[in-house]
């Protein structure tokens, strides 16, 4: 497992922490609003087998945590761009509504994906 990207961004009073690891033919993405990462919502995104098809993803919710739609959007985008499976652990303890963070979080992920593609 190799750490590719580690980013932090402050949005209003929320600090987002993102870590992206390269695994064998896949990626592990950890996103949290706390420095100490948690498990939260676990989502697996699998890229399309045939190019230009929509990415399929399977979503597994653990411990009754929310943000299921947000995690699905993130893994579909990432697995589609990276063309490899992505396992996401999304732990947003202090975010009440996904709308609070979706735009800045997606911007931060775009930056991370650009950095990964340039490596």
- Hey, where are the domains in the chain? 2-118
Q: What are phi and psi of 12, to 5 degrees?
A: 55, -115
Share of the chain above pLDDT 90, in %: 24
CA 82 vs CA 20, 34, 38, 67, 78: distances in Å = 12, 26, 24, 22, 6
What's the confidence (pLDDT) of residue 60? Answer: 53
Above 60 in pLDDT, residue 59? no
**Higher per-residue pLDDT: 22 or 16:** 22
The domain made up of 2-118 is a member of CATH 3.90.190.20 = no
């Amino acid at each position: 497992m190799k750490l590719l990207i580690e980013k932090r961004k402050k949005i209003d009073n929320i600090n987002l922490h993102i870590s992206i690891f390269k695994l064998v033919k896949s990626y592990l993405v950890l996103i949290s609003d706390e420095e100490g990462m948690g498990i939260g919502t676990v989502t697996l995104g699998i890229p399309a087998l045939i190019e230009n098809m929509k990415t399929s993803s399977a979503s597994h919710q653990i411990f009754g945590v929310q943000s299921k739609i947000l995690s699905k959007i993130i893994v579909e985008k990432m697995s589609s761009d990276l063309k490899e499976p992505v396992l996401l652990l999304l732990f947003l303890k202090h975010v009440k509504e996904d709308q609070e963070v979706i735009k800045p979080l997606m911007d931060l992920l775009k930056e991370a994906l650009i950095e990964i593609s340039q490596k």
